[in-house]
Amino acid sequence: MAKASGDEANGAAAPAQPKGEGRLVHLRVRRQDTADRTESRRWEEFKVPYLPQMNVISALQQIQKDPRTVDGKEVAPVVWEAVCLEEVCGSCTMVINGRVRQACSALIDQLAPKGEVITLEPMSKFPLVRDLLVDRSRMFEDMKRVRAWIDIDGTHELGPGPRESPERQQERYPLSRCMTCGCCVEACPQYNDGTKFVGAFAINLVRLYNMHPSGAMHEGERLESVMSEGGITDCGKSQNCVEVCPKEIPLVDSLAAVSRDTTKRMLFGWLLK
């Protein structure tokens, strides 16, 4: 018969192990050294210690501290992009377990509650820089195309801005949450190297700035910018964009609104000239 330990003999319960102690997070990362070295494309796997409330970014930081694969090979640290770590800047977008999303809000407990392998890949619709880092310059060029800003007369004191009703503000606010993360265009089948489609995010910005009292002065220019190749007619209505948007922007509503406005301008715009 086994002899009871001192604590058990005295009726005291054995101390519980802290939750997650000894647990490892298993990451499978798609890597490539540079954009032009496609032969270096490969998968590498890492296991890092689990931390409470851990997200994908903190797991990548653990790899950075000791970049060693599961078979013990020392490699270069994984390259990725992140800034705010609170789903505001949009820079840490990557494909996680086959779905495009923000790495900072991707919690390990939700992705791999039973220790499953977590797969990380770069977005496929933008030029690769290295590993998980891509160049999203195309998005910012498209923002220039649709005039995604409000013109002002100067940097001097301009006085109070135009007044808006609370109802109008509530209608515009969800549209303003866009952080140019790229999730919508990564999921869009129309957005690729072979097209000039600006994507749902840019068309949403056309609607946002045309609804602004000052921005409405350039409404015609914005509408005409999406009436040519790569504009609103290139949208295939797949609605993937609204499914993956981390800010739950009503992108389908914006696409419909801008489509309606461009149709009106096409039919009756000559009256305004």
d(CA 24, CA 39): 30
145-149 average pLDDT score: 96
Q: Is residue 86 part of a domain?
A: yes
252, pLDDT greater than 60 = yes
Task: Report the number of distinct structural domains present in the chain.
Answer: 2
For residue 20, what pLDDT band results from cuts at 50, 70 and 90? low
Q: Is residue 252 part of a domain?
A: yes
Q: Is residue 160 part of a domain?
A: no
For residue 244, what pLDDT band results from cuts at 50, 70 and 90? very high
Q: Are residues 90 and 197 in the same domain?
A: no
Cβ burial 203-222 (10 Å sphere, 16+ → b, else e): bbbbbbbbbbeebeebbeeb
**Residue 191's CATH number:** 1.10.1060.10
d(CA 183, CA 101): 6
Tokens matching residue 6: 């001192």
Q: What domain range is 43 assigned to?
A: 24-134
**Residue 35's CATH number:** 3.10.20.30
Q: Are residues 145 and 225 in the same domain?
A: yes
Q: How many CB atoms lie within 10 A of CB 116?
A: 11
Tokens matching residue 263: 């149709």
Q: Is residue 18 part of a domain?
A: no
Tokens matching residue 138: 């195309």
Burial of 36 (0-12, 13-18, 19+ CB in 10 A): exposed
Q: 99-124: per-residue pLDDT in tens?
A: 999 999 999 999 999 999 999 999 99
Q: 52-63: per-residue pLDDT in tens?
A: 999 999 999 999
Q: Are residues 128 and 218 in the same domain?
A: no
Q: How many CB atoms lie within 10 A of CB 167?
A: 8
pLDDT at position 19: 55
**Rounded to the nearest 5°, which phi and psi values hold at 114?**
-115, 20
